[in-house]
Structure 1
Amino acid sequence: MSLSKFESMLKTDKVYFFDSSEFEEIIHHYIDNGRHSLAKKAVKLGLEQHPSSVLLRLLKAELYIFEDKIVEAKKLLNELQALEPTNEEVYIQKAAVFSKEDKHKEAIESLKIALDYTDDIADVTSLLAMEYLFLDNFEDARLNFAKCLEVDFEDYSSLYNVVYCFDMDEKHAEAIVFLKSYIDKNPYCEIAWHQLGRQYMVLKNYEEALTAFDYAVIIDESFIGGYIEKAKTLEELERYGEAIENYMVTVELDDPTAYVYLRVGECYLNLNMFSKAVEFYKKATNEDPLLDKAWLALTEVYFQKEDFSKSLYYMKKVLSIDEFNPMYWRKYGEINLKLSFFEEAINAFKKCLSLDDKSLEIWVALVDIQYFIGHFEEALASLVQAKNFYKETAEIEYRFFGLLLHMDKQEEGLLHLKNALALDFEFHTVIKELYAGLFKMDEVIEIIENFPSVK
């Protein structure tokens, strides 16, 4: 009634009288609905009719804070603190100002004062806990969220936050003790059972996790998160058929998601049911065409089946979504190599290097392809660059040996052979495959046979 009357007044330019509590309700309504301009009008009119109302002035301060008018908010709050030094809302609003300024320790001190005067312990304690979170003080944050649960054990937001703090401190065993204690008080809370299962999952105690998730979905048969976590646990236990059943329950309960289809595809792949895996991977791409993991899964399936043309097709889809992932370029290079598309493979491995994947495997792959297609100068240049990152590495030294001998630089090449043998003598039996002809040379045979480690 008050709200209709107020909005009618705004439309007609008539001025109606409201008591201060009516203005407070109207202003709270507009703030809660994000209609700050109307809230400001209500504050203005309210203070015109009730200029001494502290609560209306506090709401004015709250709007100042929303609008980042920190100076104005501070001035008004200081005035109100002088008027009502035991009003907890003043200290709560001052804490909000400090928090805006990233002065979280000051915010905490202000909220501690508010606790001395408030009747609503849980709300202030929750705000206090959030300030500790801003400081990454997870211990004190957790203790304060736990106090909120003591006031209202169905405060599930605080329950989640308690577990979050345990997670951030990696105190999973302690989290389990806490959740079990909570479940003793509230045994039919599916959220608590779900969180308990998650903690067991982190500790790789999959049987206990499965039991917890079972309770979660028994309590709430429509608890999608419970079924997903249960399915993930069944995957870890290699019970893929049951995992599929639980994933598919979520599809019956709600709209299907690409993630669920992707996981179902992975389960079928683990069951060696390739056609079913492909079917669900494709469903995942239909649900979310930008899910690179689904396209990558198709890439891997066809790569394993040695259908490299299809694998390349799907790999290009992956790169069209994320062209800055060096692991994707590495896979792209591997596929092109299988198809003997050497220039494309070279470009792919160079792309890896440009994206800071300078692992030894990438350098070696690049050099070997350049050597194989006869680009000896380029291969040598790549080896020189690789040596900057891998100074004393047998795989690099053996390749210097092979390249330099092919480029008629025998003296230098044999020197690198000796370095390579000193670094890893046994590896010369592996590298023979790449430079088979060179290992038949008399000079090479003599160096290897007379190398100190052989005697």
Structure 2
Amino acid sequence: MFDDDEEEDGFDSQFYSELERFEKMLEDKEAYYFDSEILEQIIDHFIIKNQLKKGLTAIEFAQDQHPNNNTFELRKAQIFSTTGKLKESLLILQQLEKNEPFNTEVYVTKASVFSQLRDHENAIKYFEKAIDIASDQEEDWEVEDIRFDLALEYESIHDYNNAIKELKKLLQASPENESAIYEIAYCYERIGDFDKCIEYYQMYIDNNPYSFTAWYNLGNIYFLKNNVEKALWAYDYSTIINEEFSSAYFNMGNTYMQIGEYQKALTAYAKCIDIDGDDALTLSYLAEAYERLERYDEALEYYEKSKSINDELAEPWLGIGIIKELQGFTTEAIQYLQRAAELQPENANYRLVLAEALYKAERFIEAENELETALQSDPKYAEAIILLARIKAEFSIEDAVDYIASLEHLSDLDSSVRIFFSVLLWQNGQKTESLLVFKKEYLIDANSAKTLFLHFPEAQEIPEFLQILDLNND
């Protein structure tokens, strides 16, 4: 027979007696009479249990006994929709729409089929029809369910603003609807309204204080808002609730890395590995934490371990290359950095790191090629522009000056590019132009002096530059 757990699906004990009789009928290959309502319940039971073949058998039997009951045809359309027979499902639904023009379930099913067909326009149209009919029939709970499906349909085409509108309507009718609260928070995240996103996640957490995923998502939003303290607070709550939730430890590690708390980052990444086992990316991040702590032997050990698990992952190749370069093994470092750049060809930062190593090895033409590739990916990458100008200056200061002068929207680039331009102008003998460029930048931001001295330490002994600093102090 059926155990108590099965009765939790909404059917009573009388139903299970009828279900047993139906199953026995099929087994004995006989034909008994069943009330149409009981047959509807039997079919729904098979659908709930995902016994779709039995469901279709029951539908065929039910249609023989009750040929005028359209519910059986609707269930067939729903099973066809579930099993990928979308065209067959639509044919049935088109006829049902004519026969039962005020049946909400027909329109919801049709919307679902169109959604699977990625015909989002029709899916939205039929969800809206279903809402209109359910509203007219004052079936509020149906309206809420359909409105939620409509919001998800908008999300599937990245129309988050319309999704938010539908979810707001749902929440006006049902303020405690947790699924809608959670979903609207996600939508606000997608459109970049992080304050609203936080508001709804907090609302959700008020109702579900032990939802570790909600705390985790809240932490992610605080991280995006650069509120590191709050991000760590939320991640910490997530891990208190679920000590085995590795994603929260991983993002906690990333947050600690951002604020320079490398030992804490290391601990967080190590916890991830304890939970999930060795993972190439996590091992690489763990290695980077060791690298930042200048524990290079341990960093290399974990980078190598990461690489042995997945040699197509760029991060360990980059990390090993950086450490080799720091240790003075530039030629060996270049080999690793070249592999990292090959694995992530669109990553401008990887190209820059490789170019810096090539520049150090005086392989100027190769370095120049890498920088030009980097600037194709990110035309405003200040560090790449400056290094490329520096390489050009190795051959001709005038060419380096012309290069920066020819840059489009020079005034929109990072100020460090214009400060370096001032240095090149001075070195090219264009002292008046150099001082004008520097003075303009310095009057906007006094920290420009630090950038100048970084690229041109000799400026600290040049009276003309010092005079500009003195004028500003006066």
Same fold (TM > 0.5): yes
Using a 3 Å threshold, how does the CA distance of structure 1 residues 123 and 363 change in structure 2: closer, same or farther?
A: same
1:106 aligns with 2:131: no
Match of 2:165 among 119, 140, 161: 140
Using a 3 Å threshold, how does the CA distance of structure 1 residues 140 and 218 change in structure 2: closer, same or farther?
A: same
Alpha carbons 2:321, 2:332 under 8 Å: kept: yes
Match of 1:80 among 96, 109, 119: 96
Aligned to 2:202: 180
Deviation at 1:253, TM superposition (A): 1.8
Alpha carbons 1:197, 1:209 under 8 Å: kept: yes
Alpha carbons 1:108, 1:128 under 8 Å: kept: yes
Distance across 2 between alignment mates of 1:40 and 1:385: 73
Aligned to 1:244: 266
1:59 aligns with 2:78: no
Distance across 2 between alignment mates of 1:88 and 1:52: 19
Using a 3 Å threshold, how does the CA distance of structure 1 residues 333 and 192 change in structure 2: closer, same or farther?
A: closer
Aligned to 2:331: 309
Deviation at 1:248, TM superposition (A): 1.6
Using a 3 Å threshold, how does the CA distance of structure 1 residues 204 and 94 change in structure 2: closer, same or farther?
A: same
1:424 aligns with 2:440: no
Report the residue type matching 1:83 in the other structure: N
Deviation at 1:64, TM superposition (A): 5.7
Using a 3 Å threshold, how does the CA distance of structure 1 residues 362 and 142 change in structure 2: closer, same or farther?
A: farther
2:160 counterpart SS class: coil
1:221 counterpart SS class: coil
Alpha carbons 2:351, 2:371 under 8 Å: kept: yes
Q: Which runs of 5+ in 1 are unaligned?
A: 373-378, 403-416, 435-455
Aligned to 1:364: 389
Distance across 2 between alignment mates of 1:221 and 1:94: 43
Matches within 5 A, 1:276-425: 276-349=298-371, 351-352=373-374, 360-361=385-386, 364-365=389-390, 367-368=392-393, 389=407, 423-425=433-435
Deviation at 1:136, TM superposition (A): 2.6
Report the residue type matching 1:245 in the other structure: T
Deviation at 1:318, TM superposition (A): 0.9
Aligned to 1:414: none
Distance across 2 between alignment mates of 1:357 and 1:216: 40
Using a 3 Å threshold, how does the CA distance of structure 1 residues 255 and 143 change in structure 2: closer, same or farther?
A: farther
Deviations 1:6-37 (A, max 9, x none): 9x989x9x7977945444544565588xx8xx
Alpha carbons 1:122, 1:151 under 8 Å: kept: no
Distance across 2 between alignment mates of 1:27 and 1:93: 14
Deviation at 1:164, TM superposition (A): 1.1
Deviations 1:75-106 (A, max 9, x none): 54343234334422112123235544221652
Distance across 2 between alignment mates of 1:203 and 1:126: 28
Deviations 1:266-298 (A, max 9, x none): 322332322222222223223322221222122
Using a 3 Å threshold, how does the CA distance of structure 1 residues 53 and 256 change in structure 2: closer, same or farther?
A: farther
2:168 counterpart SS class: helix
Percent identity over paired residues? 22
Report the residue type matching 1:182 in the other structure: Y
Distance across 2 between alignment mates of 1:144 and 1:289: 50
Distance across 2 between alignment mates of 1:385 and 1:340: 20
Alpha carbons 1:125, 1:145 under 8 Å: kept: yes
2:247 counterpart SS class: helix
Match of 1:207 among 229, 244, 247: 229
Distance across 1 between alignment mates of 2:193 and 2:351: 38
Aligned to 1:219: 241
Using a 3 Å threshold, how does the CA distance of structure 1 residues 325 and 201 change in structure 2: closer, same or farther?
A: closer
Alpha carbons 2:194, 2:221 under 8 Å: kept: yes
Deviations 1:143-194 (A, max 9, x none): 26757985664x5xx5542321121233323333333333333322222322
Deviations 1:230-256 (A, max 9, x none): 333333454332332222222222223
Distance across 2 between alignment mates of 1:397 and 1:168: 42
Distance across 2 between alignment mates of 1:286 and 1:221: 28
Matches within 5 A, 1:89-128: 89-97=105-113, 99=115, 100-103=118-121, 105-113=124-132, 115-116=134-135, 117=137, 118=139, 119-120=141-142, 123-128=145-150
Alpha carbons 2:185, 2:196 under 8 Å: kept: no
Using a 3 Å threshold, how does the CA distance of structure 1 residues 218 and 387 change in structure 2: closer, same or farther?
A: closer
Distance across 2 between alignment mates of 1:136 and 1:130: 9
1:424 counterpart SS class: helix
Using a 3 Å threshold, how does the CA distance of structure 1 residues 364 and 47 change in structure 2: closer, same or farther?
A: farther
Alpha carbons 2:249, 2:272 under 8 Å: kept: yes
Using a 3 Å threshold, how does the CA distance of structure 1 residues 52 and 102 change in structure 2: closer, same or farther?
A: same
Alpha carbons 2:212, 2:237 under 8 Å: kept: yes
Q: Which runs of 5+ in 2 are unaligned?
A: 2-18, 412-417, 439-451, 457-474
Alpha carbons 1:27, 1:42 under 8 Å: kept: no
Deviation at 1:314, TM superposition (A): 1.1
Alpha carbons 2:423, 2:434 under 8 Å: kept: no
Aligned to 1:406: none
Report the residue type matching 2:232 in the other structure: L
Report the residue type matching 2:344 in the other structure: D
2:311 counterpart SS class: coil
